[in-house]
Chains A and B, each alone.
Chain A
Amino acid sequence: MTRAALLAIGLRILRALFTMLLCVTLVFVVLRTAGDPAEQLLPAETPPDVRETYRQRWGLDQPLPVQYLRYIANLAQGDLGTSFSSGQPVAAAVAETLPRTLMLGLTALLLATVLGLTLGIAAALRRGTAADRGLMAVAVLGYSMPVFFLGILLILLFALTLRVLPSSGSSSLRHLILPALTLALPLTGRVARFARTAMLEVLGRPFIRGARAKGVGNLGVILRHALPNATVPLLMFFGIEIGLTLSGAVVTETIFAWPGLGRMLVDSVSRRDLPVVQAVILLVTLVIVLSNLVVDILHSVIDPKVSMARALGGGT
C-alpha cells in the first residue's frame, strides 16, 4: 500500500470519528431542547427539594458546556447512564440485548447474501429469459413487502396454521428461524436485484469474453473473473443496507417478542426511559459508522485507485 492510500484511510477514520461525535452532539442537543429532564421525568407532585436533589444527582445543576463535556467523557468510558425505569446501568441492559440483535441481524444478512447473490447471478446469466423476468418479479415482490406484514404472514402460516415454528420468544434456535426469515427476505430481494445489475455490468466487459474464448467454464468465469470484479459495488451496497437491516430489526423484534436492542428501544420510548433510548441510538450510529468505515477501507485496499476525494467527502 502506498503512503497516499494510508493517508486516505487515516482521513477516512478521522471523518468517521467526526461523524460519530456529531451524532453524539446532536443527541445531546435534542435531549436538552426537549426540556429539563427533571421536570419531565419526575411526577408532577414531586416536592421542589426532591426535584433539586435529582437535578444534582443527574448533574443538571451544572452549566451546559460542563454537562456536555461530562456526557462525552462518560460515553468515552463506556458509561451509558442509568435507566430511569429500572435504576440499573444502561450498559448492562445493552450487554444483554446487543448480542441477540447481532445474532438476528447477522443471520439475516448471511442468509440474504447467499440467497440473493445466487438468485441475482442466476438471473444475470439468463438475461432476458422467462427465468430472469420471473426471478426479478419475485425480487420486487420481496423488497416491496413491509417487514411487519411479512412477519405477520409468516406467523400466520408457520406458527398458527402449520404449527411447526414458534412465533415469539428466544429460548431456542428454532425461535430464530421466523424472525431471521422476516428480516432476510426483503433484503434478499434487494441483494438479488443489485447482484444482477453488478454482474451484467461485469459480464459485458472484454476480459470476460477473453476468458470464455480461452475455454473457461461458466462457473470458472463467475467465481474467478466476474465476482471479484463485482466486489466493490457489492461492498458499497452492503454499507447502505446495514442501516435498513437495523431498522427492520426494530420492527421484527417487536413482532416476534425477540428480546434485542430494537424491542428494548420501542419499550423504553413508551416508558420515556430517555437514557436507554439515547444509548440505543448511539449504538446504532456506531454500528453503521463502523461498518461504513470497514467498507470504505476494504474498498481502498481492493481498488487502490480510490482517490483522496472519496475519503474526504461525498459520503456513500
Chain B
Amino acid sequence: MSLSAAAPRPWAGLPPMILLCIAWIVATLLVAILADLIAPAHFTAQDLTARFRKPVFMGGDWDYPLGTDHLGRDILSRIIYALRASMVIAVLGTALGAVMGTLIGLLAGRLRGVFDVFAMMLTDVQTALPSLFIAIAFLAFFGNNIVLFVILVSLEGWERYARLARGLVISEQNADYILAAETLGAGPGRLIFRHLLPNIGAALVVQATLNFPATILLETSLSFLGLGIQPPNTSLGLMLGEGQRYLLNAWWIAVLPGAVIFLTTLSVSLFGDWLRDRLDRTVER
C-alpha cells in the first residue's frame, strides 16, 4: 500500500503527458473566463507608434510581452480575447451538436418509420458533404451572423452522436429492463432519459471530447478564411489570417495564435484518446 493511495489526490496515477494536457485545457478555460481581468489591454486598443514590436523572447520589452501587430495592438491581449471567442464558440457548438445529434438518434431509434428514414438520409448527406462546405454554403447564402455561425459549427460530427444513440436504442429495445419499465407504465421520456441515456453517457462524453478539436478547427478554419468571426471582433483563426500578410517581417503575429490553437487541439485530442481507453472501447474511431 503506497502513501499516495491514502491521500486524496485524484491526479495520482495519471500519466504526466495527460496531466500536462489537463493543465493546458484548464488554463485555456480560465483565461477564456477571466479574459477581462487578465488582459493587459483591450483587444482593439491601437498604438500606431508601437507597430510590429518584437516579443520579449526576441528582445522586445515587457510593455508588450508577445509583441504588437500591424496596428500596434498588443498580441497577448488579442490572444486572450481571441481564445475566449474561439472557446465559447467551440464549447457552444460541441454542446449543441451533441444534444441535437443524440436527440435525433434517440428519436430515430425509438420512433422508427418515416422519421428514422429521414434522419438516416440526413446523416448520409452529412457524410457526403463535409461540415466546412455546408458552413461555407450557408454563410454565402445567408450572410454572417453569430447565431448562424454557432449552429453551423455545431454541425461538426452531429451524425456520429445520432448513429451512436440510434444504435443503442435499437439494440436495447427488447432488453428485459426496457420491457419491465414499459410494463410499469414508463413513458417515452422516462425511458429515454432514465433508462437508455445513462447507458451511453460515457460513450457520449468520449465522443464529445474527441469531437471538440474538430469543432475548434472548423471555427478557426472559417475565421481564417475570413468567413467566420468578423473584425473588429477577433478569433484565433482570424488573427492567423491577418498575420499571414506580415510573415516576412513579423512572423509572431500569425505563429503565436497558431501555436495556441495547435496546443489546444493537441491537448484535447490526447486527453480524449486517454479517456476513451479508460472509459469506453466501443466508441467509433
Name A's B-contacting residues (CB within 8 A).
Answer: 15, 19-20, 22-23, 26-27, 30-31, 34, 140-141, 143-149, 152-153, 155-156, 160, 194, 197, 243-244, 246-247, 250-251, 254-255, 265-266, 268-270, 272, 274, 277-278, 280-281, 284-285, 288-289, 292, 313, 315-316
Contacts and interface: CB of A to CB of B under 8 A. Distances in A.
A145 B266 CA distance: 8
Interface in B32-82: none
A62 B37 CA distance: 58
A208 B259 CA distance: 43
A19 B132 contact: no
A272 B217 CA distance: 24
Contact of B266 (A144, A197, A243, A284): A144
A255 B266 CA distance: 22
B158 to A, nearest CB: 13
Interface in B104-124: 120-121, 123-124
Contacts, number: 138
A148 B266 CA distance: 15
B141 A147 contact: no
Contact of A315 (B123, B221, B237, B259): B123
Contact of B251 (A156, A197, A246, A251): A156
A148 B224 contact: yes
Given A19-B124, A144-B269, A266-B227, A152 B244 contact: yes
Contacts of A153: 255, 258
B129 interface: yes
A81 B141 CA distance: 16
A274 B141 contact: yes
Contacts of B129: 23, 243, 281, 284-285, 288
A251 B221 contact: yes
A263 to B, nearest CB: 10
B247 A160 contact: yes
Given A146-B265, A152-B258, A22 B130 contact: no
Given A34-B142, A144-B213, A247 B132 contact: yes
B140 A156 contact: no
Interface of B: 120-121, 123-125, 127-133, 136-142, 159, 163, 213, 217, 220-221, 224-227, 237, 240-241, 244, 247-248, 251, 254-255, 258-259, 261-262, 265-266, 269-270, 273, 285
B254 to A, nearest CB: 5
Contacts of B123: 315
Interface residues of A, dominant DSSP: helix
Contact of A277 (B140, B221, B255, B273): B140
24 contacts: A20-B128, A22-B125, A27-B137, A30-B137, A31-B141, A34-B142, A140-B266, A140-B273, A144-B266, A146-B258, A146-B262, A146-B265, A243-B129, A250-B133, A250-B136, A255-B244, A266-B136, A270-B226, A277-B136, A277-B137, A281-B129, A285-B128, A289-B128, A316-B127
Given A153-B255, A269-B140, A246 B130 contact: yes
A41 to B, nearest CB: 11
Contact of B124 (A152, A265, A315): A315
Contact of B121 (A22, A146, A254): A22
Contact of A250 (B132, B241, B251): B132
A26 B125 contact: yes
Nearest to A155: B247
Given A22-B121, A255-B244, A274-B140, A149 B258 contact: yes
Nearest to B264: A144
A149 B124 contact: no
B133 A284 contact: yes
Given A152-B255, A313-B120, 11 more contacts: A23-B125, A140-B266, A146-B258, A149-B261, A246-B130, A246-B133, A251-B224, A269-B139, A284-B129, A284-B130, A289-B128
Contact of B262 (A144, A251, A313): A144
Contact of B265 (A15, A144, A265): A144
Nearest to B224: A148
A11 B141 CA distance: 34
For the complex of A and B, 9 pairs with smallest distance between CB atoms:
A149-B258, A34-B141, A144-B266, A247-B132, A243-B130, A269-B140, A277-B140, A247-B130, A144-B265
A57 B193 CA distance: 54
Contacts of B136: 250, 265-266, 269, 277, 281
A266 B218 CA distance: 15
Among B129, B251, B266, which residue has the most Cβ atoms of chain A within 10 A?
B129
A145 B139 CA distance: 25
Given A144-B213, A269-B139, A22 B124 contact: yes
Contacts of B224: 148, 251, 254
Contacts of B125: 19, 22-23, 26
